[in-house]
Structure 1
Amino acid sequence: MLKPTLSRTVLATLISTGMLAFAAPALAAPATKASAASAAGGDVLPFKATEKTLPNGLKIIVVPTGFPNLVSVHIPVQTGSRNEVEPGKSGFAHFFEHMMFRGTPTYPPEKYQEIITRAGARQNAYTSDDLTNYYTTFAKEDLETVLKVEADRFQNLSYPVEAFKTESRAVLGEYNKNSANPMQKLFETQREAAFSTHTYRHTTMGFLKDIEDMPNQYEYSKVFFDRWYRPERTTVIIAGDVEPAKAVAMVEKYWGAWRRGSFKSNVPVEPAPKGAQYRHVAWQTPTLPLVTVAFRAPAFSDTQKDQAALSMLLSLSFGRTSPLYKRLVQDEQKVDQLFDFVPNRVDPTLATIGARVKKPADALYVRDAILQTVAKLRDEPVTSARLADAKSANKYGLIRSLDNTEAIASTLASYVHFDRSFGTLNRYYRVVDSLTPADLQAAARKYLVDDSMVVTTLSHEALPAGIQTLPKLADLAPAAALSDARFDVLVQKSALPQIRFKLLFAAGSAHDPKGKEGLAALTAAMVASSGSRERKIDEVTKALFPLAGSFTEQTDKEMTTFTGTTHKDNWDQYLGIALPLLVEPGFREEDFRRLKDAQKNALVLDLKDNNEEEFGKERLQANVFAGTPYGHPVLGTVKGIESITLDDVRNFYRQAYTQGAVRVGISGDVSDRMVASLKAALARLPGGNGLAATPAIRGRMPNGLEVEIIEKNTRATAISFGLPLEVTRSHPDFPALWLAKTWLGEHRASSARLYQRIREERGMNYGDYAYIEAFPRGMFQFFPSPNLGRKAQLFEVWIRPVAPQNSHFALRAALFELDKLLANGLSQQDFETTRGYLEKNVFVMTATQDQQLGYALDSQWYRTPEFTRMMREGLQKLTVADVNAAIRKHLSSKNLSVVMITRDAAGLKEKLVSDAFSPISYDAKKPQALLDEDQQIGSMKLGIRPEAVRITPASAAFAE
């Protein structure tokens, strides 16, 4: 079931723990002749697919999507943490997600990356409980090349013990990265309580003790790969601008010789549960309490109703349209997150209901409210109308997500891998469509039972007495049940039935009044999430639910953007529900209290307490732009948020959201009538030109290395450094600096220099990237969101968390590489390779409907040509001399603002100001040239003055 309403924090945690993965493997389908399967009546996929199973068992699925220029290849392998059956060997499925990028004799890592870069491709992989999926999106002319190199690495993966040990340290770094999030530990604890035998007992990352022992498991890694990476467990999905017959022939050519395996899976069967269980996690640092209630859930099926029925039931009962959500989140405001999750899995798994509680004293109350709702579900069926609305939301929600080739291929991979069939998703949605209220009630009675219940809590402070005593569900059951405005509208006409519009207002956190930092963000949240004058927010949510429609906000420094989306069939109904949120906001006191608390929690908990990486990046921004309107986070400061009143929100709204302050864009299968109705709705906005423009923004150039060390009780050390830039998209040097930062540290690109030198060769952390534009929420996204336009930017290097003993060396290593770039510039070959990559990749990064519309509005704001055309033309005119001149003009390795978040702040300061030698040690043997370079880096003099280093307690950051 689709879960569009999970918060970003919950969503990211479910992904990182392997809870929210993309379904799981079943038996391979028998070999058949190539066949074309078209979407039958009632099917949700509007595509024709060509399927073929090769003699070796490999399955091929080719799907022309109708989107031009791009192809996305997804290769789901029926191998996940479920397959880690030997004690002490957990985490290897995820580990091979990493090792598969280590190369072959024919295509060693550097040659492989060179080919991928030439294709202008972006690639990645993920591992879940039941599968590992590798995916690459690229220009269509490179399809044969990509299939060739992918076939080689699946059949001929080769890595020395040194590379194995280096990557094992990077995997530990990934675990360390996740360790700051309390939900990670809660879900680990939940699984260990729920499962005694089955391999779902551990998350995808594996047990920490097994991860720490990975450097000693080189020989076993070969065994694991030989067992599970076989053609009969693998599907090659090719989607996009592709000719099926040619694509199938290419796969046969390069993959046909891959030999079938013989290993038989022996995943242990979990015995029946023996009674309700309770587990508690004592969290060492301040955080809001978490409460989860889980039950044993059925395995995924596209023929039986149980799993689909349970998922639908919990979504209706605990989602944003549910009475409990209205009660706990909106009315009583005891909870700021309420979610449910019934994953698609090969074997019986867990269905989870979770809540983040604002006060420890309310944890018992919230737990019992959840259990009371569960008890009621077994006796009172949902209404037919609510179920029909939920089915409609599922249908339109899926269609809404299929707005680009990569999304289509990704959705297919999440269902195809079960039994390697294109039809799985269509069959599953037919099961969903057949559900009745009786089916949902039957699922409740079968699965929501005392014996399979696992309640897990997490808190820093003590929870109410009695929370460890679990009541019987029967005891909790209810007794009765034992005008036309002159707007210029940018229209992007396409065949997509999903309509998307954006309303970009010239109002952001740079307009926050002094002492009211966070007002712009809170006002936007009130508009999007506090209802309209006629409808409370729960009524809005219920009305939008069957339409799978949404109306969301994004606030940045200079702009606030509202994005609406719905299927074209529902346009009139949707517009009457969503647009009153903007033009007739409700601004109720109870919503104000709820959203104000949520914003403060997002700043203090989600950013500062639970996320050192984003915390460090935000702090760097604040330091670089201190004393300017950009000098505080978009979320505001603790004191600023606390001082905001509802009257402040009303006044900001009246001044900011006017007809003269908005840019409008709409895309999809848009009619003239739709455009006219949108303009008429916006004509009800107040007149006027909006807020006064912000002044020119200029950040402060550091004098030498200026360091702020944030002292925080954390396992790893996060590092960010940078300097202000006058270069924005409207500056003539923008393409040159874009190319330079791409070579140095493209976001999540393993071919970039910093990534190769720090992460790949030394295995120090999870990744190292560079930017010339702010990239908020970068750890959650592959590409930056549109509509983050700013009058001033910063050059930034993000060093993802490293072991504390390596933090001094990591800073030196990054500065060492930056210094070499400034001194030597790019070579002609590096220049041409990076430019070729960017000329193609610019299409990948703007592939979705949302990106295309957002970038078009950004181009209006910057007064530049359309982004892809501007970048391609700018890149084509560049020379390597232009790039190297721009590097020397705008960048520095000597004058930088640095932020480091670590536990031992005083010890780190002593190392920095003494310029002490920073050693580094490895688990694996390294080339002598690298060791020699380590000595050079470790001895590198940074010249940091004692007075240029300040230590700030984490609690004091962004306080006021």
Structure 2
Amino acid sequence: MLRASNFLKEINVSRQPLSRLIHVAMLALCAPAMAASGTPAANAHDVLPFKATEKTLPNGLKVIVVPTGFPNLVSVQIPVQTGSRNEVEPGKSGFAHFFEHMMFRGTKDYPPEKYQAIITKAGARQNAYTSDDLTNYYTTFAKQDLETVLKVEADRFQHLSYPVEAFKTESRAVLGEYNKNSANPMQKLFEVQREAAFSTHTYKHTTMGFLKDIEDMPNQYEYSKQFFDRWYKPERVTVIIAGDVEPAKAIALVEKYWGGWRRGTAQVPVPASEPAAKGAQYRHVQWQTPTLPLVTVAFRQPAFSDTQKDQAALSMLLSLSFGRTSPLYKRLVQDEQKVDQLFDFTPGRVDPSLATIGARVKKPADALYVRDAILKTIAQLRNQPVDAQNLAHAKSAEKYSLIRSLDNTEQIASTLASYVHYQRSYGTLNRYFRVVDSLTPADLQAAARKYLVDDAMIVTTLSHDALDPLLSKLPKLADLDSPPAAPKFDVLVQKTSLPQVRFKLLFQAGSAHDPQGKEGLAALSAAMIAASGSTERRIDEVTRALFPLAGSFSVQTDKEMTTFTGTIHKDNWKQFMDIALPLLLSPGLREDDFRRLKDTQRNALQLDLKDNNEEEFGKERLQANVYAGTGYGHPVLGTSKGIDAITLDDVKAFQQKAYTQGALHVGIAGDVSDEMVAQLKDALARLPAGPGLPATAVPQGHKPNGLEVEIIEKNTRATAISFGLPLEVTRSHPDFPALWLAKTWLGEHRASSSHLYQRIRELRGMNYGDYAYIEAFPRGMFQFFPNPNLGRKAQLFEVWIRPVAPQNGHFALRTALFELGKLVDNGLSKEDFEATRDYLMKNVFVMTATQDQRLGYALDSKWYGTPEFTQMMRDGLAKLTVADVNAAIKKHLSAKNLSVVIITKDAAGLKEKLVTDAFSPITYDAAKPQEVLDEDRAIGAMKLDIRPEAVRITPAAQAFEQ
């Protein structure tokens, strides 16, 4: 006969429906399964769809009859209100479980063989289990045998008889069962946990009992009779009859066979109350054979109640936080795969007991990490209420899980038994689920604050291999998630009537912070925030969640700064915050996302930049050459070897140091409420409070003596030219407005009125565009205005000649240098100065016309320490004179000492032309004025004086390799 004296019975699963059984591995050791959990049905608040008949006999026996609607079968369940909780005498633990065994030893009228023959003839399925608070006996059989079963069950409950020899034999079987169960490390862990948790109450020992007591059981024959006479009495027993039954006839049969059972007369001892816990405890179990490490965290939990909320609230909270739908489960089990089992165990008990969270860890080295992840989640529960929708979903799951389980008579009866034993009432289950249905996020948070406290915490570990000694040092929960302190950053607010809300999170962390040999780390770390999901959601889930909201969360990384931008309609603000902010605050950091984004970044460098875009390639190469040896000496994307060398651990370490409150500037724009600003600040206050990465030095650019040329040899139809020199002038420099005006006249980006455009494209038709810059303008070929948030400590004066025919490359370079030389030597005329200034006084508003630009430029002003950009530029332009501009040009610009990058197919041929100063002719398809042709001859013969050693040829494949 299989009797339910096994592991989950040991850890007291008397109310399995809401205790959420630990896991498959443990279920193999557990008592026969009871019902799944549920919440109240929608109609009349009753979760059970059955009409029950209840009657208490004069002797105190409770009878509950439930017609289930399933034909032919009946299940009789007999829960007795005695379990290991009632083993109050020292040295006598384990007797409740022992009597589960002895009840099958028979009586004078029905000895074991005869009793078993009757049960077999009835085609019955029979078993029993013991828990902390009850022992339950159950039999399921054909309805024709109801009277027989009730008769023999009544006999063994009233007349159990066993000789001392049978008692001793069974006591050795119980010891054998203990020894069998002791092979399960979880059982031993729970034994140690409970011994640590309780000093006085009988929950200190498991249902099996203390080993020394089990070993002494053969000597306790007389006590066994005393235990049976004390507890197996009608006033502590309920007979549940469910199935194809007629209530009146069933009750009559119970009265016939059970009515003569006499009430108990012995005084019933009450377990001593457990004193308040006095501090967090740690226990470790050294396991003798190889096994995976176990980590559990337990707290005192309240007694079961079908009227008070505390126990139901705590049970629901831990299920939401550690169950299979929880973010932590997704993180530890699915994503990081550090754990193969994560469970919560909150059994309902008659007296206050333990709520446990546990994990089975794959590697001993991860045990501390897993413990801290559990503790941090617990700490957060005290400060952050659960989402109301998630709670509603959990209630729904409870309800439908229970309903799904009620698909046969035995399951219905066993579910009832697991609740009936508390008060011997059919209504307990319905009342309890009304409590569950009434739970609110505030109730769950209140339970967390009341019960998830340091003094009541017991951390227990088990392992064969050595674990980190820091496991024995228990942190304070408040230290893991204290309420956010005042944030270390300000929020710049631009209130408008625009319902679209945009925020920018600017961190002082960029590619200038890339470690040597890991070039590209800043960009990849930022991409892992914006494009790899959170611990809660994978990136595809984030994308799907944002789709109906039309929201976005994107990133831009540059030399000195990384900017995350979120945009959403104000109506969808809260949903967006719940989806987008976790990307930064709890990034997913999954290995598969890391590999994907690393490949994407490598492809962006090698294919999108080098192979597919000679013009942007040339600009990046010029920047790298001018600032070689500094943090600006490689593209933001990195180098090929640098990207290959980056590991996921590198990304994690960079993020931890870089994305801190001390490195953060925040801006928000749109129809923003004060509450929204506060919510954003509160969320970001969860970032580490550190200062961020060390400040970078101002990079010192290389200033050539003459023209220094790198020719990138690439199989391409066109020739791209970029040249320039390092510039110490940034927005905080007094000469910035003057140089801004000069570059605008010379080559405003995509402006057909600018001088270079007119002389090279419009007059000669040589190419697409000719532009000049005094600030970085990445992605220039795709947009009219530069993005904000590209602040740099040093800039580059640059002229960009968009592609020319290879045969005109030499002439195009000479032409651009010719026009630049005239500007440097002669300056601007007063007429050109005033026309350009008038244009810029208004164009600055166009530059900052969008919500993104206004907010971004405002943050840039804070970073540079300057006034608001439009005001600064208009004030600066208004004060300028043509003499100021021309003086700034002469001071900062040159047409002779420049770095040049040219991307072309025939590198050797072009080098030969450059170093020999060969005449560079140009031909036109249409006639040109004589003055143009005369100027062409002068330009074509202009001496550039480029020394052979100042020209190097680099195959395109080698650029940005390391």
Length-normalised TM-score, structure 1: 0.50
Larger radius of gyration: 2
Length-normalised TM-score, structure 2: 0.50
Q: Which has the higher contact order (CA 8 A, sep 6+)?
A: 1
